[in-house]
Amino acid sequence: MKSYFDVAIFFFWTIIEFINIYLIAGEFLYLEKKKPTIRHIFFNVFVFWVLWCVFVVATIKDNRILIGLLYVPLLWKSLIIVSLFYKIKRKIVFIVFFFVTISSTLASNIGLLLKTIGYHKFASNSFAMELLASTFFLIVFLSLLLIKKKFNMNVIFSSLGYIDYVLFIVITYSISMIEIGMFRSVKYSNAARTVAVIAYISVALLIFRSIVTLVRKSHLEDINQLLEKQMKQTTEYYNELVEKEKDTRKFRHDIRNLLIGLYSLIRENENDKALGYIDELQEMTSHGSSKYNSGNFIADAILTAKSHRSEKDAIKIELNGLMPSDKIADSDIVIILSNLLDNAIEACEKLEGTKTIVINSVLKKNIWVLLITNPSEKVNIKNSNSIKTSKAEKDIHGFGLSNINRVAKKYNGDFSLEYNEGIFQSKVQLMLQ
């Protein structure tokens, strides 16, 4: 009867652990969903079914050796099924193993605590302890979802390297084994066992603080990189303006001389030469005119710089409308326009053929609406103004979008993103006072 009870507990543990891994993958790490093939479904379900059946038989027959051999493969049981719904990368495997290790060590400590207060028989059932630990994490995850204060686990875990995971797993598992050994041995007093529990809790807190420290360091590095990038871009834009000013001065000087010469030719009735001068004047005017005329010098410089960058990849940038020349800081223009264009250009670079980025700017009284559309691969959008991503590298785009959102709030406006049938749209609306 006890064996069947263990199988039932293992069944419920499997269900709850699967829900936990599914929530981690979809709600916290924002993994990209996929449509599994029939072969993939058959293979994964078959592997899961074989592991389950062998474990059930081993449990019913009380084969401790076989149960021990299956214990490690069974740690991955939920990942086998979750991989049918999400694209699983190598680092995700480490993250799942890290979570399973934490859950398992929590189960061990729950068992030790229950034994301390007298529940020896129940605490001796390791599957029951695993069920309690998984239930605890399920309650935590559901609570985070209900109060809508989800930790950005994608940023946290992408900040950790493989060595970090290995070290944390080894330390956690080793301390847990030492702790369990002390509780099972009669050589140690209750005081020593209490110290072991305190040591384990301290190590767990130290690991948590180490993760937080690594995340903060990573965020600061990302912010510094973003600031350096924007400073470099701003410098380039102002250099563009300086060059335009030089060209304008040169044009004014040349046009003055041409007008003097043209006046003289007309007075001398040298009409053919005068027409030649006029053609030269038209050529200079055409050469000196700006490619973009948005009404804002900074915006023109940004558009020109981005256009030069994108031309080599067969990307065109079209501008319709005017942009504000006052009531908005130059730095805010740089943040909005440069980040949105960078994202649009990067999306177009992933596609073949000629691509067009269309910028529509509507300026009416104190309201400015900027709408940028571009062709793009499929993009998962969350909360209408940020992008779900599973990129292993640091999410510079995330900081750029958050800066745009900050600027929108500064001007009592709104920032939104939308994807529909291969077209990505960014919309910024500001109230200019």
pLDDT number for residue 358: 94
Portion of the chain with pLDDT greater than 70, in percent: 73
Mean pLDDT to the nearest integer, 234-254: 66
Q: How confident is the model at residue 103 (pLDDT cuts 50, 70, 90)?
A: confident
Mean pLDDT to the nearest integer, 272-287: 64
Would you call 361 helix, strand, or coil by DSSP? strand
pLDDT in tens, 150-168: 455 555 555 566 777 777 7
pLDDT number for residue 247: 66
- The more confidently predicted of residues 230 and 356 is 356
Taking the CA atoms of 62, 68, 72 and 75 in sequence, report the sign of the dihedral they define. Answer: positive
Task: Give the dihedral of Cα atoms 171, 172, 175, 176; nearest 10 deg.
Answer: -150
Nearest to 23 by CA among 175, 155, 183, 140: 140
Is CATH 3.30.565.10 the classification given to domain 293-433? Answer: yes
Q: How confident is the model at residue 233 (pLDDT cuts 50, 70, 90)?
A: low
pLDDT in tens, 167-219: 777 877 777 777 767 766 667 776 777 777 777 777 777 777 777 677 667 66
Nearest to 182 by CA among 201, 200, 206: 200
Residue whose tokens read 């800081």 = 329
Q: How confident is the model at residue 425 (pLDDT cuts 50, 70, 90)?
A: very high
Alpha helices in 61-151 (DSSP H): 64-74, 77-82, 90-116, 120-123, 126-146
Q: How confident is the model at residue 375 (pLDDT cuts 50, 70, 90)?
A: very high
In order, the DSSP letters of 14-63 are HHHHHHHHHHIIIIIS-PPB----HHHHHHHHHHHHHHHHHHHHHHHTT-
Averaged pLDDT score across all residues of the chain = 77
From CA 87, how far away is CA 8, in angstroms rounded? 30
385: tokens are 């103004």
How many C-beta atoms lie closer than 10 Å to residue 429's C-beta?
A: 17
pLDDT number for residue 361: 92
Residue whose tokens read 């007298």 = 118
pTM: 0.53
Domains of the chain, by residue range, sit at 2-188, 293-433
- With a cut of 90, say whether residue 373 has pLDDT above it: yes
pLDDT in tens, 104-124: 878 877 877 777 777 777 777
From CA 94, how far away is CA 130, in angstroms rounded? 20
Mean pLDDT to the nearest integer, 9-13: 84
- With a cut of 90, say whether residue 403 has pLDDT above it: no
Q: How confident is the model at residue 393 (pLDDT cuts 50, 70, 90)?
A: very low
pLDDT number for residue 230: 67
